Structure formats: C-alpha cells, structure tokens
C-alpha cells in the first residue's frame, strides 16, 4: 500500500479522530483500502485518495494539526510549499524518507520556506525530523 496510509492508520490507532492520505499510484491506494478494511478503519475516519503532491490542494478537512510526509528528499524539497498549505496554525510536521547525505540540503530548503526542526533522528543512512513553521511565518 502507500506509506502515508500506513502512517495515517497508525495515527488513528494512537488517537487521531480523522486522517487523510494519498499516493499517486492507484494500486497502492487499492492495497491501502484493503488494509483499512482489515483494520476496521472506515472512510469516515480516513480520507484516502489517488493524488499527486505537486497538484494537490488540501481541502479544509484535509488540513491537520499533524502533517507527516514520507518522501524522497528531492520530491520533499519541491513539495514543501504544498505541505505547508496542509498545516493548521501551530501544526507539527514530521518528515522522513530522507537519506542522511541529503539532510542538510533538505533542511536548508525547508528553512527557506519558514520551517524549522526541533528534533532530528538519524538512524543508519536515514533521517526523520519533527518541526513546524517558525513563529514569524506562521499563518493567522
């Protein structure tokens, strides 16, 4: 399935009321729907759809207090503007799927867009980071 659906289902199991997830691969969405069914997760709780991060405009219902993006760093860097539009005021952003060798350029790209990270975890060749919008760039 799609990694975002796995993360969304985990968030629902950990207490999130509602989640949204998408992937550009229709087969990944099909597998994710099967996993939703197996885990008793309904469409009312998980908005799952085929989409392209570069064309997606989040609806009001798709904006979150927690936004998670598990993307290759090159895609993530280009997608930061769209990802930011999915963040509610004071939202937390978790990014992963970043090679350690690409972390500094990804971090710089994020910072140019007003993002900052207060926690960075490096495990082997991978990096995951948690942060949000700097107070001076946060939306009202």
**Domains by residue range for the chain, with CATH:** 1-52 (no CATH), 61-140 (3.40.50.150)
Q: List per-residue pLDDT tens for the chain, 140 residues long.
A: 688 899 999 999 999 999 999 999 999 999 999 999 999 999 999 999 999 999 999 998 889 999 999 899 999 999 999 999 999 999 999 999 899 999 999 999 999 999 999 999 999 999 999 999 988 665 54
pLDDT of residue 139: 52
pLDDT of residue 40: 95
Tokens 């790209």 locate to: 109
Backbone angles phi, psi at 8, to 5 degrees: -65, -40
Number of Cβ within a 10 Å radius of residue 35: 16
pTM for the model stands at 0.88
């Amino acid at each position: 399935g799609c990694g975002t659906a796995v993360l969304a289902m985990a968030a629902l199991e950990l207490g999130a009321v509602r989640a949204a997830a998408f992937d550009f691969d229709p087969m990944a969405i099909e597998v994710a729907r099967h996993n939703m069914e197996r885990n008793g997760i309904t469409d009312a709780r998980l908005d799952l759809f085929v989409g392209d991060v570069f064309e997606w405009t989040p609806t009001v219902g798709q904006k979150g207090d927690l936004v998670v993006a598990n993307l290759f760093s090159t895609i993530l860097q280009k997608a930061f503007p769209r990802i930011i539009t999915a963040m509610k005021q004071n939202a937390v952003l978790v990014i992963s799927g970043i090679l350690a060798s690409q972390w500094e350029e990804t971090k710089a790209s994020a910072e140019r867009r007003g993002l900052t990270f207060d926690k960075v975890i490096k495990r082997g060749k991978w990096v995951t980071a948690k942060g949000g919008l700097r107070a001076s760039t946060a939306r009202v």
